[in-house]
Amino acid sequence: MKPGIQLRQSQQLSLTPQLQQAIRLLQLSQIELQVELRELAEANPLIDLDGTEVDEEGPADAPTSSDADGAGGDAPSDTAEDSEYWDEHSPQVIEWAQSNRGFDDDDAPEPQDAAPEGLREHLQWQANLSGFSAREAAIATAIIDALDDDGYLREGLEPVLAALRVLEPSVTKEEADAVRSRIQHFEPVGVASLDLGDCLDAQIEQLEPSTEGRELARAIVASELDLLARRDITRLASRFGAREDEVVAAVTLVRALDPRPGSRFDPAQAEYIAPDAYAVKVGGRWRVSLSPDCQPRLAINQHYCSLIARAQRSDAAWLRGQLQEARWLMKSLEARADTLLKVAQAIVRTQSAFLDFGPEAMKPLVMRELAEELGMHESTISRVTTRKYLHTPRGTFEFKYFFSSSVATEDGGSASATAIQAMIRKLVDEEDPCKPLSDQTLTAELNRRGIQVARRTVAKYREQLRIPSSSERLRAR
């Protein structure tokens, strides 16, 4: 074979610090966002949190509100080009909508307190929407119950299998591991892992295959966590036959991951929540507005900006870097607000009957369907619906409250699990206390109303509503 030089073109996706920041900001709650911005402003003198000094190249003001069908009162913002950039480059396939801001501070309803959701509740909610069979759902619940506070399945699958086989002796380890693998890709990604390497690998796996350093990062977490912890770039390069710059890219990717994905749901941390969006009916149409806090009025500090031209070369370079970071932050915040508004609009548009008539009118809605409707990635929908709250005349609800699986109806349509639970609650509330309705009777009544649901499903929904069985209700009378 003759020696020669070959040219090869290839594309690689790089998880840049700017994209990492955008992804992180998207999943923060509103209160966490305020804390993050204060910390960033303390570290970067070019960031003006008051928003009193306007950067000539900064983003323009956004429209103030929009109908649920997406019709706004002002011209669209100039974030369309940014949207194309994120779609092209982000390994999470984040797509941004048009920008909007919400009520003035004086008009916004008061925030409300709410009990924080635990890790297990969050995962069980996703499991209920994942299309598991009844057998798989039982396995999923057992796995979720066995997780520790960091989200790990530290003791492996054997204790889970032992508990499951009491009722279902034929459950195999292969079945349980297949369900565990699906749970690993719930939000937060990496839960239900057996160890640190397994956790990090699950997070790397969900990145686009063309992400720079992805395959090398998977190899490193699979066998060389000790060298990774010591940041021994030279030995890692030798171990995998890679260039040092390739190892640096892989290590940087790994260090951006979360080694304790369940810890953000620490039950000891009480969380004060404030609505991210508001739904108000005006002139017979539902209108959606974002809270002003979802798009803080950041600006570039013009005093420090003016120093760039006069500063010494090293200082000027540092200031220019800080200026670029400030502008990226402003773009990321604009993009975050755009995505929040677009998802809130879609939720209100789909669930307008719930807003008008209550839980019994809730429609089936799963993340995959909304992601397809909005042209977003499902992981983006998952991030933007977690710990984000919509204030409505019926109360303040987490975005993900409006998602539920579907149950077939007699006429060939479907009803949401939330609507069915509301019906069960109403039937129990209206029952004769001396003759409480059994699960079989509740099932028959739902079937009479055209909803084809099994008795075990009714029992599961009743337990999720924390309604005692008919015999327990009779004894408690």
More confident residue, 14 or 161: 161
As for how many domains the chain has, the answer is 3
Beta-carbon-side half-sphere exposure of residue 456 (alpha carbons within 13 Å): 5
- Token pair, residue 381, equals 């929908």
**Token representation of residue 237:** 């390069």
Residue range 425-471, pLDDT digits in tens: 889 888 888 888 999 999 898 888 888 888 888 888 888 888 888 88
pLDDT at 90 over 60: no
Q: Does residue 84 share a domain with residue 139? A: no
Mark whether 308 and 367 lie in a shared domain: yes
Contacts of 57 (CB under 8 A, 6+ apart): 300, 327
Between 91 and 183, where is the model more confident? 183
- Other beta carbons within 10 angstroms of residue 304's beta carbon come to 19
More confident residue, 238 or 167: 238
Give me the mean pLDDT over the 339-362 stretch.
92
- 420 and 363 housed in the same domain: no
For 169-181, what is the mean pLDDT?
93
129 with 86, same domain: the answer is: no
Least confident window among 75-84, 124-133, 161-170, 365-374: 75-84
Which of these, 336, 255, 268, lies nearest to 29 by C-alpha position? 336
Supply the range of the domain harboring residue 152: 119-263
Q: Which of 263, 292, 315 is the last residue of a domain?
A: 263
Tell if the pTM clears 0.75, that is, is over it.
no
pLDDT-based confidence at residue 107 (cuts at 50, 70, 90): very low
Four-point Cα dihedral 420, 422, 423, 428, nearest 10 = 130
Tokens representing 228 are 């990774």
Rounded CA separation 402/390 (Å): 10
Q: Which pLDDT value is given to residue 309?
A: 76
| Residue that is last in its domain, among 341, 363, 396 | 396
Residues 380 and 287 occupy one common structural domain = yes
Which helix or strand (DSSP H or E) is residue 398 part of? strand 395-398
Let me know if residue 244 belongs to a domain. Answer: yes
448-460: buried (b, 16+ CB within 10 Å) or exposed (e) per residue?
A: eeebebebebbbb
- Average pLDDT, integer, range 379-404: 89
Query: Radius of gyration over alpha carbons of the chain, in Å?
Result: 26
Q: What percent of the chain has pLDDT over 90?
A: 27
Mean pLDDT of the chain: 80
DSSP reduced 3-state for 96? coil
84, two tokens: 């194309």
Q: Where are the alpha helices (DSSP H) in 285-416?
A: 302-307, 313-350, 352-357, 367-374, 378-385
pLDDT at position 70 is: 58
The answer, yes or no, to whether residue 112 has pLDDT greater than 70, is no
Same domain, 213 and 298: no
Query: End-to-end distance of the chain based on CA atoms, in angstroms?
Result: 90
399 has a pLDDT exceeding 60? yes
The residue ranges of DSSP E strands in 83-210, in sequence order, are: none
Has residue 247 been placed in a domain?
yes
pLDDT at 101 over 70: no
Tell me if 8 is assigned to some domain: no
57, part of any domain = no
Residue 235 shares a structural domain with residue 179: yes
- Tokens 């507005």 correspond to 289
User: Do 411 and 317 belong to one domain?
Assistant: no
**Do 139 and 211 have their domain in common?**
yes
Predicted confidence (pLDDT) at residue 139 exceeds the cutoff of 80: yes
Same domain, 101 and 230: no
pLDDT at 352: 93
Return d(Cα 250, Cα 376) in angstroms, integer: 27
Domain CATH for 412:
1.10.10.60
SS3 169: coil
Residue 335: which of 51, 5, 82 has the closest Cα? 82
Look at residue 347 in the predicted model and tell me its pLDDT.
Answer: 95
Q: Is residue 56 part of a domain?
A: no
208 and 307, same domain (yes or no): no
Domain assignment present for 12:
no
345 falls within a domain: yes
Same domain (yes/no): 195, 216: yes
Model pLDDT, residue 302? 85
Amino acid identity, position 163: A
Query: Which among 321, 403, 342 has a CA at the least distance from the CA of 367?
Result: 403
Strands 277-282 and 389-392: parallel
Domain boundary among 228, 263, 298: 263
Report yes or no: 459 and 467 within 8 Å, Cβ to Cβ. Answer: no
Q: How far is Cα 290 from Cα 101, in angstroms, rounded to an integer?
A: 5
- Tell me: pLDDT of 104 over 80: no
Residue 66's pLDDT band, with cuts at 50, 70 and 90, is low
Query: Pairing mode, if any, of strands 285-290 and 299-300?
Result: unpaired
Judge whether residue 259 has pLDDT over 50: yes
Q: Would the pLDDT of 22 be above 50?
A: yes
CB 262 within 8 A of CB 149: yes
**Which two tokens mark 211?**
């992400």
Answer yes or no: is 332 within a domain.
yes
The Cα–Cα gap between 219 and 201 comes to: 9
